[in-house]
Amino acid sequence: MNKNISTDGFKYRGIHGSRFETLTDIIFGFSITLLVISSEVPKTYVELQASMYSFFGFIFCALLLFSIWNEHKTFFLRYGLEDKKTILLNFLLVFVLLYYIYPMKYLFSYLGTVLFVKIKRSLGDHSDGLQLAVTNLKQADLEVEQWSDIMLRFGFGLLAIYFIFMLLYMNAKQRKSQLDLNRMEVYKTQTSIQEYLILVSITVLSILFVLMFKKDGFLYSSLIYLLIPIALFIHQRYRKKRL
């Protein structure tokens, strides 16, 4: 198997990497580190037990960061671009990522802890660690306006990331002659642009729901994100039929 060609037939033009790609990888690693070191070190066994209830939240955050990193890696493997526009967009991406990490961690940690508590209670757990986790949740109990603010921060961060990736792919398509992209590669590049347009549209819709439906906006906006896998699945099937 040719290591310079992906499994879907896309030629790798950036297989040797570059300095700013390496810098971006370091920042992704640093973002994962921030997820860990931003948590307070437990001082007692009960606090250690309670801290484990945020495990789901950490996993969700790490998976989201990994998906962004993987998409970044795929883009630069495919195109290997180092023009000024790509460098600028890459800088904006890592800047947004560093800003985005704390709102994302707070949201997923809270929701992950709620989920873990419900699961443990359904299993009959009434440990001191669970009680402390519940107490921490009550202390962090948010008003409707605060939930809306968190969803807006989350939405705008996600919107910026998706929009930057869309611009990266649009820039790659504009340079199809320079990159010597074949018909299939141009088609897949256009497919990626459309996928990110879908992601941008759904994120904008979620943000609008927060702004329009004041009290219930944060609930509706979170449910709207469930449209993402459905919309992408339908789009991928449609594009495969046209290939």
Please tell me whether residues 148 and 242 are part of one structural domain. yes
Please tell me whether residues 134 and 23 are part of one structural domain. yes
- Residues 220 and 144: their CA atoms lie apart, in Å, by 13
Last residue of a domain, one of 141, 176, 195: 141
> Is 28 within a domain?
yes
CA angle 208, 211, 217 (to 5 degrees): 90
**Residue-level pLDDT at 150:** 84
201 SS3 class? helix
> Is 206 within a domain?
yes
> Is 212 within a domain?
yes
Overall domain count for the chain? 2
> Is 1 within a domain?
no
- Residues 233 and 218: their CA atoms lie apart, in Å, by 25
**Residue-level pLDDT at 185:** 93
Could you tell me how many residues make up the chain?
243
> Is 5 within a domain?
no
**Residue-level pLDDT at 134:** 74
**Residue-level pLDDT at 2:** 59
Exposure string for 197-206, b = 16+ CB within 10 A, e = fewer:
bbbbebbbeb
Please tell me whether residues 153 and 236 are part of one structural domain. yes
**Residue-level pLDDT at 241:** 78
Closest CA relative to residue 140, chosen from 222, 43, 215, 132? 132
> Is 4 within a domain?
no
**Residue-level pLDDT at 39:** 63
Last residue of a domain, one of 119, 141, 163: 141
- Residues 19 and 66: their CA atoms lie apart, in Å, by 20
**Residue-level pLDDT at 142:** 67
Please tell me whether residues 36 and 136 are part of one structural domain. yes
- Residues 140 and 112: their CA atoms lie apart, in Å, by 14
**Residue-level pLDDT at 37:** 66
Please tell me whether residues 114 and 153 are part of one structural domain. no
Contact 202, 225 (CB under 8 A): yes
> Is 7 within a domain?
no
Please tell me whether residues 136 and 157 are part of one structural domain. no
**Residue-level pLDDT at 51:** 72
Enter the pTM of the model: 0.86
**Residue-level pLDDT at 162:** 96
- Residues 161 and 131: their CA atoms lie apart, in Å, by 37
Please tell me whether residues 151 and 123 are part of one structural domain. no
Please tell me whether residues 29 and 107 are part of one structural domain. yes
Q: Which amino acid is at 198?
A: I
- The secondary structure element, H or E, covering residue 240 is helix 227-242
Please tell me whether residues 71 and 111 are part of one structural domain. yes
Please tell me whether residues 82 and 132 are part of one structural domain. yes
**Residue-level pLDDT at 107:** 83
Range of the domain at 171: 143-243
Last residue of a domain, one of 141, 161, 193: 141
Which portions of the chain are predicted below pLDDT 70? 1-3, 17-19, 36-42, 139-142, 144, 214-216, 243
